Structure 1
Amino acid sequence: MTARELYDRWLHELWNGELDRLERLAEGVVAGDFVGNWPGRPALVRGPGQLAAVIRQGRELFDELRFEVALGPVGDGDLIAARWAAHGRHDGTPVTFHGHDLLRHADGRFTEYWVIAEDPYRPTA
């Protein structure tokens, strides 16, 4: 599987996927020993179930939230990096925010994740 194919699964199956299927989808995209790191919160997430819960919690704060690839993904060995943009509505106000993902993979699934993202509550002009 190419870096693009693997990252497409990450972004489109999980972050844009059906909320009622997140746990099952996460099991197919990340390894059982997956570790997710957010700024100031290392190892915030462990395993597919916790990842699905964090994705659901974040997505439920917005209406019509969609993620798209802005740059990449770029693969180097067992690492994949990409920049993304998210568009949605918060309290009826359009919002757009961006972030960077860095993921380590093995055997067709992600094992580690580091993210940096902008403040999602900044309204779109």
Structure 2
Amino acid sequence: MDAHELYRRWIDELWNGRLDVVGELVDEGFVGHWPDRDVHGPQELAGLIGETHGMLDVLTFVIEVGPLVDGDLVAGRWRGRGAQDGNPVTFVGNDLLRVAGGRFTEYWPASLPLP
């Protein structure tokens, strides 16, 4: 699978709640670098995504820009939408991922809530 398709599946499938595909998209040695912690491996990532979906009602993500591919790096911009206590929530984020062997191996996310 090429990096463009890998990123499409990363957002359209995995981040939209299809946790069963995590092993197809993420290497066993995966490390995600969130500001408050590192996440290691597919199962820990699936747990974090599950926690994220548990914080909001009907959470969905769409790709807005990209993916842009340069060597082993993939970048993209996405928008998330959901609701919390009946109030709509929208936020955007930028991803930077490293790919090797057809799977993501490293991840640096950045997201911001929108007013």
Q: Look up the match of 2:101.
A: 107
Q: Look up the match of 1:51.
A: 45
Greater relative contact order, per chain length (Cα 8 Å cut-off, separation 6+): 2
Task: Quote the offset at 1:3 in angstroms.
Answer: 2.6
Task: Quote the offset at 1:80 in angstroms.
Answer: 0.2
Matched AA of 1:5: E
Deviation >4 Å, runs of 4+: none
Q: Look up the match of 2:6.
A: 6
Task: Quote the offset at 1:30 in angstroms.
Answer: 0.2
How far apart are the structure 1 equivalents of 2:76 and 2:31?
18
TM-score, normalised by the number of residues in structure 1: 0.86
The structure richer in strand per residue is 2
C-alpha RMSD of matched pairs (Å): 1.3
TM-score, normalised by the number of residues in structure 2: 0.93
Task: Quote the offset at 1:45 in angstroms.
Answer: 0.5
Matched AA of 2:7: Y
Q: Secondary structure at the match of 1:88?
A: strand
Task: Quote the offset at 1:33 in angstroms.
Answer: 0.4
How far apart are the structure 2 equivalents of 1:76 and 1:40?
27
How far apart are the structure 1 equivalents of 2:59 and 2:17?
11
Q: Which runs of 5+ in 2 are unaligned?
A: none
Q: Which runs of 5+ in 1 are unaligned?
A: none
Please give the residue correspondences for 1:53-92 in structure 2 after superposition, counting only pairs within 5 Å. Answer: 53-92=47-86
How far apart are the structure 2 equivalents of 1:49 and 1:94?
29
Q: Secondary structure at the match of 1:86?
A: strand
